[in-house]
Structure 1
């Protein structure tokens, strides 16, 4: 298996604002030359780093999300994925999901900027709401877990993107009733439909949707004890 065809664990965070009035989500646009989803508007997110598993969390992933994250996945991956989501949000938007505190030791290089803000990452309020594996044949493949969190969990000004990297442009809060006017990946539209249907609730869904795409078949499953739903397609 080549590196490009390898499926990498990944995490994405949907930051939602004004859930009970006019809900909006934080999104940015990927560059036109990006290998994965060029020019699309996406949520902050990316691949799991080796150091994410060792990052100290002020609060770990709560149940039932922790157990659902480890269904059909390596044991102990739940908090690493939460840390990945928090790190990606920081890198791509400059926003902090954490609480004031000192790190117990030197942070990994990828976390140095976050630690310099005087915060320790916290998974409190992160809700696991969706999982999807990129279909075969794409230039990059990810086993992506989508987290939902209320913008009130952000430490600082949610409109201050001054510390963001240049990975995403046009960072903005997009009202859900306008989001389909933007160039979105198909899976993002599916996730947004699930989130919108549950609002104003931000807690864990009864079962987490899971698009599992393999070389043999594509299945739409539910994590959390429910029986698998009908297959979307079958290959081979």
Structure 2
């Protein structure tokens, strides 16, 4: 008798967490570069892979004030599969993750009112409020069954002109990502990347010069059939 796989008989018990990922790009109209960093070799999720800054939504993100929000088209698309408070939280989480993992601040001058969530203490000390006015929602991906951690990740494309300060200054970054760097979009696929990151880079290359939101937002749930399609697309 053959041994059955976990996917055949057992339900997946790993909860799916909402997450936000940010594709920061500069010189997008001439020689575009994207910001990437390398995850640690002991990381439970995507160890030793180069990724964009991003991570799970925290409880406090839904209550963080925003100085500006995504445009109506992107907001409507985010709301198609998320409650209103999650639409807010996803935007806040995107800013927070960039701040934590790269030390780059995406915000506008403003005073915080009331209690500041613990994860936001350092950000608020800069006397800026998070701002996603220049964010474009461009991609969504759900981690496949069997992964040690699962995320429903929304990807935001952001021009580096939105960064407050020097976009090459990573001195305030945490140690979650190493080798932080701006890398030419065409060269990024030469790094050790997760498959989904390769696919996202391909999508970004197609829309990099657009001024507004893309015509649609691809959503990949990463079942067996879709993974086969992704592999063909990412690795011709």
Structure-2 change in CA distance of 1:3 and 1:136 (3 Å): closer
* Alignment of 1:89 onto 2:105: no
Helix, strand or coil for the counterpart of 1:72?
coil
Listed as ranges, the matches of 1:216-227 within 5 Å are none
Q: In the alignment, which residue of structure 2 is the partner of 1:152?
A: 161
Aligned mates of 2:13, 2:118 — CA distance in 1: 25
Residue 174 of structure 1 is matched in structure 2 by 183
Q: State the distance in 2 between where 1:65 and 1:88 align.
A: 19
1:218 Cα deviation (Å)?
5.9
How many residue pairs align between the two structures? 220
2:12–2:145 contact (8 Å) kept in structure 1: no
Name the counterpart of 2:107. 98
- Alpha-carbon distance, 1:61 to partner: 2.2
Structure 2 unaligned blocks of 5 or more: 1-9, 231-236
Aligned partners of 2:140 and 2:154 also within 8 Å: yes
Paired residues for 1:196-235 under 5 Å: 196-213=205-222
Shift, 1:203, TM fit: 2.2
SS of aligned partner of 2:221: strand
Contact 1:150 1:202 in 2 (8 A): no
Note if contact 1:56-1:121 (Cα within 8 Å) is conserved in structure 2: yes
Deviation at 1:200, TM superposition (A): 1.4
Structure 1: runs of 5+ lacking an equivalent:
221-230
Please state whether the residue corresponding to 1:178 is helix, strand or coil: helix
Residue aligning to 1:138: 147
**1:42 touches 1:184 (CA, 8 Å); kept in 2?**
yes
Q: Does the CA contact (< 8 Å) of 1:56 and 1:103 recur in 2?
A: yes
Q: Aligned-pair distance for 1:202?
A: 4.4
What is the match of residue 133 of structure 2?
124
After superposition, the CA RMSD in angstroms is 2.0
1:44 equivalenced with 2:53 (yes/no) = yes
Given the alignment, which residue of 24, 36, 42 partners 1:27? 36
Q: Is the 8 A contact 2:40 2:176 kept in 1?
A: yes
> Greater share of helix residues, 1 or 2?
2
Considering fraction of residues, name the structure with more strand.
1
